[in-house]
Amino acid sequence: MFKFTISKKLKNARVARFATPHGVIDTPAFIPVATKATIKTLDSNDVRNIGFNSILSNTYHLMLQPGADLVKKMGGLHNFMNWQGPIFTDSGGYQVFSLGKGLAYGVGKVCKKNNSAEASTNKKSLVKITDNGVEFRSHLDGKKIFLRPEDSIRIQEKLGADIIFAFDECTSPTDSRAYLEKSLERTHKWAERCLKAHKRKDQALFGIIQGGDYKKLREAGARFISALPFNGFGIGGSFGKKEMLNVLEWTIPFLPENKPRHMLGIGVIEDIFEAVGRGVDTFDCVEPTRLGRHGTLFTKSGRIRILSAKYRADKKPIEADCKCELCINYSRSYLHHLFKANEILGMRLATIHNLTFMHNLMKNIRQSIKSGKFNYFKSQFLRKFRQF
Amino acid sequence: MFKFTISKKLKNARVARFATPHGVIDTPAFIPVATKATIKTLDSNDVRNIGFNSILSNTYHLMLQPGADLVKKMGGLHNFMNWQGPIFTDSGGYQVFSLGKGLAYGVGKVCKKNNSAEASTNKKSLVKITDNGVEFRSHLDGKKIFLRPEDSIRIQEKLGADIIFAFDECTSPTDSRAYLEKSLERTHKWAERCLKAHKRKDQALFGIIQGGDYKKLREAGARFISALPFNGFGIGGSFGKKEMLNVLEWTIPFLPENKPRHMLGIGVIEDIFEAVGRGVDTFDCVEPTRLGRHGTLFTKSGRIRILSAKYRADKKPIEADCKCELCINYSRSYLHHLFKANEILGMRLATIHNLTFMHNLMKNIRQSIKSGKFNYFKSQFLRKFRQF
């Protein structure tokens, strides 16, 4: 039912086809995030038209609204949101971090490690972690929710994604080594409990490797998780560029060649190149869509902020050779106006553009590996694509 | 350049073709409102795909952002928003009301006459009216703007719509008869000034008939305006259902048969039937799109509020035989979830559905007039379509 076939290797980078019950994912692939069963501002046809066949949704968000039982009753996530391609769901483990220490210490994923992370914010953690599971206070209504590994699996089975993840504790850069050791042990016990709880054979279960920024812990995590009969692996808890490179160096060598590797929450373009080069197959991240909604658009010459006054009377499209709905039909001037006027259409068109950019980028990355020119493509691309 | 050809009359109702430089409008027609050069949540292709070929934009909003000079520089509204069909722009006259007494007395158009309209709100009018023109305070930044009839025309010429309107004072239901008389005289002087100021021959200029809820004033308004060499006529300042019927009875008999008649800001479905039956050709209104964004959807059995708990697990589409993007692809349950989760996609899909409904309705209305069955269609339709 699941088959992972590598067609080309170039050092650690690889091109593969990951067959799932709802279609084949050509990897390396970027998986756009449909947090609450929609990629914000887009419907399923929009996402298909851009070229994507796979998406990732968030278990935590969907269990709160509309609820896993409702989604199951509606025929599962595929039918509910009319998406007939592969779907990933995360396990809720990331929310253990983001609603817990992420909130309390002001640490974020996409916005990198907060330098003042040691200083606590005035926000309270919504999370209590025990060996048995995690108690959340819903960010919507404050209701208490207890999530054990078994619950996460049961919920993900109801949601019905093709690829689901084991419930883990995503640790924080603010955690001590002693805490990380304890947490890693807990994540490993949870991994075993998830495997035991998981019944649906039409779902691939991925184990998640944690271990913070410590070589020894990451290696221990990779060894332990990769020895379990998971269908694939997620690499979690990586914050910051340098940290991510370390995590990959310490983790990938221990993972079996013949199973897919997903990098959780990574999607900054520079990071994708690094991770692909080190053997990661799939990525999910809200960055391209979130940046789009805030008026930052990807071009081959870098990211542009459309609200800048210099685009006010700019008749050119965002990118001359881009074939997306935005670039074919509208000028930078029009998009500038839409953002200035707080028109939702601006967010939508920017989202479509950024996702088109990501889709083309991944296609070019796959092509560059196939033709043995990944490093050349990477350096050419990144030379033009400047960080803002 | 403009040609209005009636192909069928059924008592006062009429089917016609209104040829403009950017295409033919089949009337009676509903013209969706693209306030700030976008029908909220939709791009021009979306609107075309629904079936519309004509839209109306607001001069007042566009003169503030992005500004008429910018739009002109970008090739006019047609190029700026990539809409190659007919465009109407209103004159700013409605904002004389909505930002003036509308704000100060809490009176709205779509929400009908406010019963406590005599009681002033704690909001201040942003408008000062003199015979020379209107001083606005921008609702965006408080900046003073002085708009004379000549300015409105000049701005509308820069925007470049196919059909533009004379600058008028849209009076308020709270105005006294004495005030209305004075105002009507002013609106008539302004109409003459607009005709004099208007130079572009590729734009049809419509005169606007005001006169409040007074028979004598409406008749005087209709006589005066219809005697001027306008290309068509707008009927403005009508608030409330009964008042609208009166206004039409008092106005239409004085209008020439061979020129198009537009009803400003009217778009409640029941009102459209009444106005078509009395000889109105085109309508613009934010109601279908605004209701959609707030989760109210049109069906042949009436309006439904998708946030109602009864749709939570409803697998059916909004309307079984509707061919819109929403009804073909998604259930009521999914739309309920999108609104519950505050996902923008919900607003977008509901907008697409409501506009599809309006487009089909107007097609059926035209067909019913052609086949001599307008009254039958109207009574059948309205029997099922209940007010909520």
d(C-alpha A339, C-alpha B65), whole Å: 11
**Which of B213, B284, B314, B321 is an active site residue?**
B284
pLDDT of residue B116: 46
CATH number of the structural domain spanning residue B265? 3.20.20.105
pLDDT digits (tens, 9 = 90+) for B271-298: 999 999 999 999 999 999 999 999 999 9
The DSSP letter of residue A175 is: S
Name the pairing type of β-strands B134-137 and B144-147: antiparallel
B249 lies in the same domain as B131:
yes
Cβ neighbourhood burial of A199 (10 Å; 0-12, 13-18, 19+): exposed
Q: Would an 8 Å CB–CB cutoff place A65 in contact with chain B?
A: yes
B88 lies in the same domain as B24:
yes
Among A111-115, A354-358, B131-135, B225-229, the least confident range: A111-115
In the predicted model, residues of chain B with pLDDT beneath 70 are 109-120, 387-388
Torsional sign, CA B32, B38, B41, B43 = positive
B40 lies in the same domain as B73:
yes
- Domain termination residue (choose one: A249, A266, A285): A285
Contact A313 B70 (CB under 8 A): yes
In this structure, what is the dihedral angle of CA atoms B212, B184, B231, B63, given to the nearest 10 degrees? -90
* Chain B positions in Cβ-Cβ contact with residue A139 (cut-off 8 Å): none
| Predicted confidence band of residue A386 (pLDDT cuts 50, 70, 90) | confident
Cβ neighbourhood burial of A135 (10 Å; 0-12, 13-18, 19+): middle
Give the residues across from A34 on adjacent strands.
none
**Exposed e or buried b for every residue in A350-382, given b needs 16+ CB within 10 A?**
bbbbbbbbbbbbbeebbebbeeeebeebbeebe
* Chain A positions in Cβ-Cβ contact with residue B37 (cut-off 8 Å): 334, 337
Please check whether residue A356 lies inside any domain of the structure: yes
pLDDT of residue A387: 52
Number of residue pairs across A and B with CB atoms under 8 Å? 114
A115 in Cβ contact with A84 (< 8 Å) = no
Please check whether residue A41 lies inside any domain of the structure: yes
| Whether pLDDT at A118 is above 60 | no
Contact B40 A343 (CB under 8 A): yes
d(C-alpha A81, C-alpha A79), whole Å: 6
| Whether pLDDT at A112 is above 60 | no
Q: Would an 8 Å CB–CB cutoff place A6 in contact with chain B?
A: no
Torsional sign, CA A44, A46, A48, A50 = negative
A324 lies in the same domain as A223:
no
Contact B45 A325 (CB under 8 A): yes
B277 lies in the same domain as B361:
no
- The closest CB to that of B38, out of A66, A82, A343, belongs to A343
| Whether pLDDT at A110 is above 60 | no
If one counts the domains in chain B, the total is 2
- The closest CB to that of B313, out of A73, A329, A348, belongs to A73
| Whether pLDDT at A292 is above 80 | yes
Contact B73 A313 (CB under 8 A): yes
3-state secondary structure of A54: coil
d(C-alpha B161, C-alpha B262), whole Å: 15
- Domain termination residue (choose one: B250, B285, B320): B285
B213 lies in the same domain as B344:
no
Contact A330 B43 (CB under 8 A): yes
| Whether pLDDT at A44 is above 80 | yes
B264-B357-A73 Cα angle (round to 5): 140
DSSP string covering A69-133, please?
HHHHHTTHHHHHTT--S-EEE--SHHHHHHTTHHHHHT--STT---TTTTS--SSPP-EEE-SS-
pLDDT of residue A97: 86
Which residue of B lies nearest to A343 if distances are taken between CA atoms?
B40
User: Which has the closest alpha carbon to B106: B93, B128, B124?
Assistant: B124
- The closest CB to that of B341, out of A65, A325, A330, belongs to A65
B139 lies in the same domain as B169:
yes
* Chain B positions in Cβ-Cβ contact with residue A333 (cut-off 8 Å): 66, 70, 74, 80
d(C-alpha B120, C-alpha B341), whole Å: 36
Domain extent, residue B106, equals 3-285
A161 lies in the same domain as A14:
yes
Cβ neighbourhood burial of A134 (10 Å; 0-12, 13-18, 19+): buried
Please check whether residue A386 lies inside any domain of the structure: no
Contact B42 A338 (CB under 8 A): no
The CA distance from A74 to the nearest CA of chain B, in Å, is 7
The CA distance from B80 to the nearest CA of chain A, in Å, is 6
B280 lies in the same domain as B318:
no
The CA distance from A357 to the nearest CA of chain B, in Å, is 20
- Known catalytic residues of A are 90, 284
Contact A348 B344 (CB under 8 A): yes
Angle between helices A215-226 and A177-197 (to 10 degrees): 10
Please check whether residue A388 lies inside any domain of the structure: no
Query: What ipTM was predicted for this assembly?
Result: 0.95
B274 lies in the same domain as B304:
no
- Alpha carbon B253 to its chain centroid, in Å, reads 22
| Predicted confidence band of residue A115 (pLDDT cuts 50, 70, 90) | very low
**Which of B90, B151, B162, B168 is an active site residue?**
B90
Among A307-311, A320-324, A383-387, the least confident range: A383-387
B327 in Cβ contact with B316 (< 8 Å) = no
Q: Would an 8 Å CB–CB cutoff place B44 in contact with chain A?
A: yes
pLDDT of residue A116: 46
The CA distance from A201 to the nearest CA of chain B, in Å, is 26
pLDDT of residue B304: 95
Give the residues across from B19 on adjacent strands.
B3, B24
Instruction: Report the predicted TM-score, pTM, of the whole model to 2 decimal places.
Output: 0.95
CB within 8 Å of A260: residues ≥ 6 apart: A4, A16, A18, A27, A206, A231, A232, A233, A281, A282
The CA distance from B40 to the nearest CA of chain A, in Å, is 7
pLDDT digits (tens, 9 = 90+) for A59-73: 999 999 999 999 999
Among A32-41, A77-86, A168-177, the least confident range: A168-177
pLDDT digits (tens, 9 = 90+) for A199-248: 999 999 999 999 999 999 999 999 999 999 999 999 998 888 899 999 99
Ranges of beta strands (E only) in B229-385 are 232-235, 261-263, 282-284, 296-299, 302-305
B87 lies in the same domain as B105:
yes
- Domain termination residue (choose one: A285, A311, A331): A285
B68-B73-B75 Cα angle (round to 5): 100
Please check whether residue A318 lies inside any domain of the structure: yes
Which residue of A lies nearest to B76 if distances are taken between CA atoms?
A334
The DSSP letter of residue A212 is: T
Look up residue A185 and give its two tokens. 């042990």
Contact B312 A70 (CB under 8 A): yes
The DSSP letter of residue B4 is: E
Please check whether residue A387 lies inside any domain of the structure: no
pLDDT digits (tens, 9 = 90+) for B229-239: 999 999 999 88
A119 lies in the same domain as A146:
yes
Please check whether residue A291 lies inside any domain of the structure: no
The DSSP letter of residue B20 is: E
Which residue of A lies nearest to B66 if distances are taken between CA atoms?
A337
